């Protein structure tokens, strides 16, 4: 194999590794945000995923970015108003939050 072909392959493999690292980091951010939404809305993980998707679609912001903003909100209490509004609406669509074991409203 020529030297140039070998170095091209190394570059390709490094790019693939970088993409995989980014995908893992993105997945972790989204999973953490789902956890926050699940706890906040007393939802199942699947419903939490749906809420994130709906907020992303309705705001035209990438899901990963929505997830990052939700995590920042969890740390400092700040969430852009348009995202807060969409999050509240999405949570409302899945029913009123219930404390486990509390009588129905």
Amino acid 97: pLDDT = 54
For the chain, the domains span 19-93
**Average pLDDT over every residue of 72-97:** 88
Using the predicted structure, report yes or no on whether residue 1 has a pLDDT greater than 50: no
- Position 25 scores a pLDDT of 77
Express each pLDDT in 44-68 by its tens digit: 999 999 999 999 999 999 999 999 9
User: How is 9-75 classified by DSSP, letter by letter?
Assistant: HHHHHHHHHHHHHHHHHHHHHHHHHHHHHHHHHT--HHHHHHHHHHHHHHHT--HHHHHHHHHHHHH
Return mean pLDDT, the chain.
Answer: 86
């Amino acid at each position: 194999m020529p030297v140039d072909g070998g170095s091209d392959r190394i570059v390709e493999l490094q790019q693939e590794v970088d993409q995989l690292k980014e995908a893992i980091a993105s997945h972790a951010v989204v999973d953490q945000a789902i956890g926050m939404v699940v706890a906040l809305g007393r939802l199942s993980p699947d419903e939490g995923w749906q809420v994130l998707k709906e907020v992303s679609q309705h705001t035209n912001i990438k899901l990963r970015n929505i997830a990052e903003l939700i995590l920042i909100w969890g740390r400092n209490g700040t969430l852009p108003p348009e995202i807060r509004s969409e999050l509240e609406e999405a949570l409302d669509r899945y029913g009123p939050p219930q404390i486990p074991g509390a009588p129905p409203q």
